[in-house]
Homo-oligomer: A and B are copies of this chain.
């Protein structure tokens, strides 16, 4: 019944029902399917449920879920004695509910009412009186400071009240959002006796400049998805002796309307990531540890799904980009195209729910020193591992599905690696266009999956999420976030609409792209034009604006105008890139040159690119 750790086991994992979309039935099924040990029952979910509390308890037991907390009880204390008496009576009715649920702990939030008690001893007295009623029934109260409480808005003030009340049935609930959103210091938890740490709620959040209540109610994230240092927070709580469940309480507008099964898996991944981050910092915390992520040292290949129409078109485009068809798969209709260290697979056997004639990024091949261990870790981090059939003389390939459905292969490029699956075509490579390798892949994410994807690549692959940026694109706002490996050997540029698009939004979904690296984009542009590559026309207004804004050398500006290049700068360097037309409605290519230490993805130019692609779509025959 209680949420304490059992000897020999790690800490238990719980999730508040408010994190998940649907009715209580939907939420419990999702939490159980993701492997949670317990739930916090959010009162409005119970109120809307046809199950009596005891029926809910039975349902949870059937699903293998404990009920670890009933929450929230609001605005308990009052300077008005009659109001406090009514609040006590209200508490008694909720204690009845708890008895039915078989839960022993209720969350009491600090009051946000005008009549909230400010005087510390007066407040402690009301808390103690309520705790006494709870204690008589074998229940206990976890008191939490809301960041916007009328008088109690810091965990220190909530602890002061609990300490003064000095009641065995009264302790603290610590919530990472309420502490960290106000810049609170978890180091102080050490002063709290372990037996007073009744409950722990975990949530991350992006750094936003907004009212803290709105921030809390709409924009919380699961640990590892936001900007808070959750490992340090949890480390401090565990160091203070907390042994209850690690419980997620995330109010998020997107998760409130997304498939709860998917959200629950995302939530479980966030706890596994947090547990691992913590184990690294404080070994011996007793938490299970997945194998560490083998470093991803580069790109093996990018695979495009093609059909009988888009396949030959993709081959034509790759030819004009200077690629050579060097290999053919032993058993499948898959072509290998190469230039420098850039490798593209055209796969005619991938079943995709896309329209005929469309090409799409189907898979990423990432170099892993230990592909097997990469896959083992991915599975421990709740990634769906994909079944693979292996032909004679074919290398074993381990792959997982990313949130947008892209397959991620853990591979080795070598005689015993994935190239063993391919027979040489014997085609001679031409002069090429100076492409040296693959710089990054740009993947537009489903609206619901943007934050999930950041955590997926972080926890499963060990990539590091970068800042979220936002751009005003022609058909709506777009968020972008890169995830990168050590030494930037692997870069992915993720993007998603800020609001889910409706009927008016030409070009949805936004295209994916593959960006090839070069050391001389101007030479590459000449070679591509000579080969007849279908490059995107960039407006002259764009170059005029560049000239007005930046002190560019005359020859660079002339090259920008002549070849339709795009150019951006950051503090460390510059970025020249050119863009092709969209192939079969979904994928385009870029050739990019990084100058100095430029670390971005040409995002600021994306609106110009989108408008130009839109014009080509409009001009194209239907």
Give A contacts to B, CB under 8 Å.
Answer: 18, 21-24, 43-44, 46-53, 86, 89-90, 93-94, 97, 208-211, 213-214, 218, 253-254, 256-260, 262, 446-448, 472, 474-477, 497-506, 537, 539-542, 544-545, 547-549, 551, 607-608, 610-612, 614-615
B499 in contact with A253 (CB, 8 Å): yes
Residues from chain B with a CB closer than 8 A to the CB of A545 are 43, 47
Besides A48-B541, A53-B541, A210-B211, 19 more A-B contacts (Cβ < 8 Å) are A22-B506, A23-B611, A23-B614, A44-B472, A47-B545, A48-B539, A49-B539, A49-B611, A50-B537, A50-B540, A50-B612, A208-B211, A208-B214, A253-B498, A254-B499, A256-B476, A257-B499, A448-B502, A499-B500
29 A-B pairs whose Cβ atoms sit less than 8 Å apart in the complex: A21-B475, A21-B476, A22-B475, A23-B615, A44-B472, A47-B545, A49-B541, A49-B611, A50-B540, A52-B541, A89-B548, A90-B548, A90-B549, A93-B544, A94-B548, A97-B544, A208-B214, A209-B210, A209-B213, A209-B214, A253-B477, A253-B498, A254-B499, A257-B475, A257-B497, A258-B504, A446-B502, A500-B500, A500-B502
Smallest CB separation, A410 vs chain B (Å): 30
Residues from chain B with a CB closer than 8 A to the CB of A541 are 46-53, 97
Residues from chain B with a CB closer than 8 A to the CB of A257 are 475-477, 497, 499, 501-502, 504-505
Of the candidates A47, A90, A472, A501, the one having the most CB atoms from chain B within 10 angstroms of its own CB is A47
Q: Which residue of B lies closest to A257 (CB)?
A: B476
Smallest CB separation, A622 vs chain B (Å): 18
Residues from chain B with a CB closer than 8 A to the CB of A51 are 539, 541
Smallest CB separation, A55 vs chain B (Å): 10
| A288 CA to B218 CA, complexed, in Å | 43
Residues from chain B with a CB closer than 8 A to the CB of A258 are 502, 504
Smallest CB separation, A405 vs chain B (Å): 13
From known contacts A257-B475, A477-B253, infer whether A44 and B607 are also in contact, taking CB-CB under 8 Å.
Answer: yes
A52 in contact with B259 (CB, 8 Å): no
| A52 CA to B544 CA, complexed, in Å | 10
| A210 CA to B542 CA, complexed, in Å | 34
B48 in contact with A504 (CB, 8 Å): no
Q: Which single member of B43, B93, B213 contacts A547 (CB below 8 Å)?
A: B93
Residues from chain B with a CB closer than 8 A to the CB of A218 are 477
| A253 CA to B498 CA, complexed, in Å | 8
B499 in contact with A608 (CB, 8 Å): no
Residues from chain B with a CB closer than 8 A to the CB of A615 are 23, 50
Smallest CB separation, A301 vs chain B (Å): 31
Please name the 5 residue pairs, one residue from A and one from B, whose CB atoms are nearest each other, closest first.
A257-B476, A93-B548, A209-B211, A259-B504, A48-B611
